[in-house]
Amino acid sequence: EGTSPELKIKFAKEVLEITSWTGRLYYNGFSSLLGTGMNVHLKENGFLRSVFNLDDLEAEDGQKAKGNRFERQQANKAAFKSRTQALKKIRANKATRTQQEE
């Protein structure tokens, strides 16, 4: 018919604009394959982002740098353990110094 499709898909804080029939064909194919996970894949999947010419993922998401909850908990536990061991050594040295002074 000589018209091109105009389609805007919003996901996360981004908008995917499809203005060609090939883009529409790719989106429909991936959408039928991935189902409800399409938005998640558009946000996180590097291959899909390159297919639809979206910006790089690293520049957008500062949340990834923080790591997930389990990783943060493990890091906090390790830091707490090392801090406790360091304080234990300091207290032991302090106790031996006070005994030697008496």
Supply the pLDDT for residue 9. 87
> Is 75 part of any domain?
yes
Q: What is the pTM of this model?
A: 0.53
Range of the domain at 95: 67-101
> Is 1 part of any domain?
no
- For residue range 12-39, list pLDDT tens digits in order: 788 889 988 888 999 999 999 988 888 8
> Is 46 part of any domain?
yes
Residue 102: pLDDT over 80: no
DSSP label at residue 18: E
> Is 58 part of any domain?
no
Of the chain, the percentage scoring pLDDT greater than 90 comes to 25
Amino acid (1-letter code) at residue 41: H
Tokens of 17: 């604009």
> Is 59 part of any domain?
no
Q: Structural domain tally of the chain?
A: 2
Angle at the Cα of 47 from the Cα atoms of 61 and 49, rounded to 5 degrees: 50
Of the chain, the percentage scoring pLDDT greater than 70 comes to 86
